[in-house]
Structure 1
Amino acid sequence: MECPHFSAARCLSCTLMGVPYAEQVAAKEQAVRALLPAGIDWLPSVVGPESGFRNKAKMVVTGTVAAPVLGILDRSGGGIDLQDCGLYPPELSDAFAPLSRFITLARLTPYDVAQRRGELKYLLITVAPDGGLMVRFVVRSTESLSRIRKHLPTLLGWLPQARVVSVNLQPEHKAVLEGEREELLLGESLTMRVNDLDLHLRPQSFFQTNTEVAAALYRQVQEWVAEGVPREVWDLYCGVGGFALHCAAAGRRLVGVEVSAEAVASAQRSATALPGDVEFIVADATRWAVARTDAPDLVVVNPPRRGIGPDLADWLERSTTPTVVYSSCNASTLARDLAAMPSLQPVRARVLDMFPQTDHYEVAVLLERTVRS
Structure 2
Amino acid sequence: MRENIHNGDRLELTVDALAFGGRGVARAEGFVFFVEGALPGQRVEAQITSVKKRFAEAETVRLLESGPHDVKPFCPHYGKCGGCDLQDMDQAGQLLWKRRFVSDSLSRLGGEETPEVLETVPSPDSLHFRNKMEFAFSGGGSERNLSLGLHKRGSDESIVNVEACGLQSPLAMDIVIRAREFCRDSGVPSWNPRTRKGLWRFLVVREGRATGQVMVHLITSAGPGAAVARALGAQLMEALPAVTTFVHSERRAPSAIAFGERVVATLGPGVIEDEVLGIRYRISPDSFFQTNTGAAERLYAKARDYAALSGEQTVWDLYCGSGGLSLVMAQAAGRVVGFETVESAVEDARANAKLNGIGNCEFVAGDVRDMIASRGERPDVVITDPPRKGMHEDVVQAIAKAAPKRIVYVSCNPATLSRDVALLSQSYRLVEACPVDMFPHSAHVECVALLELK
* TM-score, scaled relative to structure 2: 0.75
Residue in structure 1 matched with residue 53 of structure 2 by the alignment? none
Q: Aligned Cα RMSD in Å?
A: 2.3
Pairing of 1:1-373 with structure 2 (within 5 A): 1-6=73-78, 9-36=79-106, 37-38=112-113, 40-48=115-123, 49-64=125-140, 66=144, 68-74=146-152, 77-103=157-183, 108-129=188-209, 130-149=211-230, 152-186=233-267, 187-227=269-309, 229-249=311-331, 252-272=334-354, 273-342=356-425, 343-370=427-454
Report deviation, 1:15.
2.2
In the comparison of the two structures, how many residue pairs are matched? 368
The question of whether the paired residues in 1 share the 8 Å contact of 2:435 and 2:448 is answered with yes
Q: Which runs of 5+ in 1 are unaligned?
A: none
**What is the rounded CA distance, in whole Å, between the counterparts of 1:87 and 1:200 in structure 2?**
23
- The superposition leaves residues 29-87 of structure 1 with CA deviations (integer Å, 9 ceiling, x where unpaired) of 01211222246544332112222222112111134365642113555945320131221
- Greater fraction helix: 1
**What is the rounded CA distance, in whole Å, between the counterparts of 2:159 and 2:116 in structure 1?**
47
CA pair 55-22 structure 1, distance change in 2 beyond 3 A: same
Moved over 6 A (4+): none
Residue in structure 1 matched with residue 18 of structure 2 by the alignment? none
- The superposition leaves residues 253-296 of structure 1 with CA deviations (integer Å, 9 ceiling, x where unpaired) of 11111112222222111111334411111222222111222121
The question of whether the paired residues in 2 share the 8 Å contact of 1:135 and 1:162 is answered with yes
**What is the rounded CA distance, in whole Å, between the counterparts of 2:303 and 2:220 in structure 1?**
38
**What is the rounded CA distance, in whole Å, between the counterparts of 2:195 and 2:208 in structure 1?**
36
The question of whether the paired residues in 1 share the 8 Å contact of 2:146 and 2:180 is answered with yes
**What is the rounded CA distance, in whole Å, between the counterparts of 1:232 and 1:294 in structure 2?**
10
The question of whether the paired residues in 1 share the 8 Å contact of 2:311 and 2:333 is answered with no
2:94 partner letter = Q
Which secondary structure does the structure 2 equivalent of 1:5 belong to? coil
Report deviation, 1:154.
3.2
CA pair 152-93 structure 1, distance change in 2 beyond 3 A: closer
Larger radius of gyration: 2
Report deviation, 1:229.
4.5
Higher relative contact order (CA 8 A, sep 6+): 1
CA pair 34-77 structure 1, distance change in 2 beyond 3 A: closer
Which secondary structure does the structure 2 equivalent of 1:336 belong to? helix
Which secondary structure does the structure 2 equivalent of 1:160 belong to? coil
**What is the rounded CA distance, in whole Å, between the counterparts of 1:108 and 1:194 in structure 2?**
40
The 10-residue stretch of structure 1 (298-307 or 76-85) with the greater mean CA deviation from structure 2: 76-85
The question of whether the paired residues in 2 share the 8 Å contact of 1:301 and 1:326 is answered with yes
1:185 partner letter = T
**What is the rounded CA distance, in whole Å, between the counterparts of 2:163 and 2:293 in structure 1?**
20
**What is the rounded CA distance, in whole Å, between the counterparts of 2:163 and 2:133 in structure 1?**
10
